[in-house]
């Protein structure tokens, strides 16, 4: 299932990611076509598969890697090379030469190789907005959203799995800050046994907690359905 581990931030905060994430995904989808046109226009065959793959990756405006499942080798563009802690190179990097592991969000155990975005892509499984955490020696954990494309190859190229990656670590940090603040406020309200109500002026939605209803001699169920009119009806005339 291509939706496993799909990034909730990409799903629910699309406007936030649109300017960078969506544009890079569109670029990934057109990369192989653009590369084919480049070869035709120049009537040239790359000197080697390594040269071709490196040139292909540099067409992608985000961090990107190409994975060869036959040899368990990686190719990186310049940005991805920095993320994976290696120097940019046209040649492949064997998995055994790289010091990294990936995990699911909020989990510590490394993913099995067959669960990684690149291996899943190599196995012809579509990858769309899959979020993982990239852990590289001497670097902070990096939250990345992956999208991929399987390149079946041609007379000039071998099959390859291409994975484009967007760093959303800053978005994750902001999101976690909001979650922590919400949790902190919830603990305070529960600890003080406070009655609370929220009113969305734009939509008209009003939300009351059970304690608010109890303070007025009701259960929340007795007041359902609630709206801002619930507050108005129960308010003292001098307060309206």
* % of the chain with per-residue pLDDT over 70: 77
Q: At what angle do helices 49-58 and 23-42 cross, to 10 degrees?
A: 140
In whole angstroms, what is the distance from residue 175 CA to residue 124 CA?
32
Percent of the chain with pLDDT over 90: 39
pLDDT value for 17:
46
CB proximity list for 224: less than 8 A, separation 6 or greater: none
What is the distance between the alpha carbons of residues 17 and 144, in angstroms, rounded to a whole number? 12
Distance CA 227, CA 203 (A): 11
- Whether the per-residue pLDDT at 104 is higher than 80: the answer is yes
pLDDT at 39: 46
Please state, in angstroms and rounded to a whole number, the distance separating the CA atoms of residues 117 and 192: 46
Torsion angle (degrees, nearest 10) of CA 83, 14, 28, 69:
60
pLDDT band at 18 (very low <50, low <70, confident <90, very high): very low
pLDDT at 146: 95
pLDDT band at 10 (very low <50, low <70, confident <90, very high): very low
Distance of CA 27 to the CA centre of its chain: 17
Global pTM? 0.65
Rounded Cα distance between 142 and 130, Å, is 14
- Structural contact between residues 135 and 100, judged by C-beta atoms closer than 8 angstroms: yes
Q: What is the pLDDT of residue 46?
A: 47
What is the layout of strands, in order, in the sheet containing 130-136? Answer: 93-94, 73-76, 63-68, 160-167, 142-151, 130-136, 100-103
Q: How far is CA 92 from the centre of its chain?
A: 26
Q: pLDDT tens, 109-118?
A: 999 999 999 9
Q: What is the pLDDT of residues 25-44, one digit of tens each?
A: 555 555 555 555 554 554 44
SS (H, E, C) 200-239: CCCCCCEEECHHHHHHCCCCHHHHCCCCHHHHHHHCCHHH
């Amino acid at each position: 299932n291509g939706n496993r581990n799909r990034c909730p931030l990409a799903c629910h905060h699309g406007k936030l990611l649109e300017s960078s994430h969506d544009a890079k995904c569109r670029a990934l989808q057109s990369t192989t076509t653009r590369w084919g046109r480049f070869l035709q226009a120049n009537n040239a065959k790359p000197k080697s598969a390594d040269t071709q793959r490196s040139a292909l990756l540099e067409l992608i405006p985000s961090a990107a890697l190409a994975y060869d499942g036959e040899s368990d080798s990686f190719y990186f563009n310049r940005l991805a090379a920095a993320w994976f802690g290696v120097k940019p190179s046209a040649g492949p990097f064997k998995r055994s030469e790289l010091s990294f592991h990936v995990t699911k969000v909020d989990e510590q155990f490394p993913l099995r190789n067959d669960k990684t975005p690149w291996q899943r892509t190599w196995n012809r499984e579509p990858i769309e907005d899959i979020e993982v955490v990239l852990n590289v020696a001497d670097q902070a954990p990096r939250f990345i959203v992956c999208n991929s494309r399987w390149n079946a190859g041609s007379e000039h190229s071998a099959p390859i799995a291409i994975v484009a990656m967007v760093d959303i670590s800053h978005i994750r940090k902001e999101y976690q800050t909001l979650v922590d603040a919400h949790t902190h406020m919830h603990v305070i309200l529960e600890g003080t046994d406070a009655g609370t109500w929220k009113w969305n002026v734009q939509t008209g939605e009003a939300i009351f907690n059970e304690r608010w209803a109890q303070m007025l001699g009701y259960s929340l169920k007795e007041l359902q359905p609630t709206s801002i009119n619930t507050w108005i009806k129960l308010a003292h005339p001098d307060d309206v």
